[in-house]
Amino acid sequence: MFTGIVEEVGIVRSLDEIGDGVVLSIAATTTRDGVALGDSINVNGACLTITSIDHEGFTFGLAPETLRRTNFGAVRPGSRVNLERAVRVGDRFGGHYVQGHVDRVLRIIRVRPDGDSRVISFELPEDFGRYVVEKGFIAIDGVSLTVSERFEGGFSIALIAYTQDHVALAGKGEGDLVNVEVDIMAKYVESLLAASRPATAVRS
């Protein structure tokens, strides 16, 4: 479990194809501290398992399913990625419940300044819109954010000046892809409501 509060922006060192998967190596300092083999790290919104650690960073194995459901196919050596270690008991919880399970990859459709903030707008497919509500939580590339606006076919978030300096998302522009995880509470409510509906009678 994560909170969506980015601890560090890491730098991709390499991506090496091995069989049907990919080994992703990332340079990091803060998030390397106190972790061990098998621990989970939120990398750009995806919960990945550490497979090796060295004095400059760590590596992860990306399964074909991970590559299909995330924007890692667009990552290259030198790319900046958001990193967060898993929450420990007693930690401050500054964001919202983030599982690190990417629901969908969406495209940025517009970026504009708003004072010292940066407003980023994303496409919103019709079948995904029910999970995105104005002033609700959403995780974009692992960053816990508030939906500032819903509009026909899309939604926006605003990055304040401080956040812009501490997340990789601020460096993305129109056409770039992002990993999106909606608030888990929305999916629980949807599941509970579906289960409570009476079964449709079958007429003979």
Active site residues: 2, 40, 47, 49, 63, 101, 146
Element spanning 195, H or E: helix 184-196
- How far lies 175's CA from each of 124, 125, 151, in Å? 14, 15, 18
Question: What residues does 128 pair with on adjacent strands?
Answer: none
Instruction: Please give the backbone phi and psi of residue 79, each rounded to the nearest 5 degrees, phi first.
Output: -65, 145
Rounded CA separation 20/62 (Å): 9
Q: Which residue has the tokens 């994303």?
A: 122
The position carrying tokens 């992860």 is 60
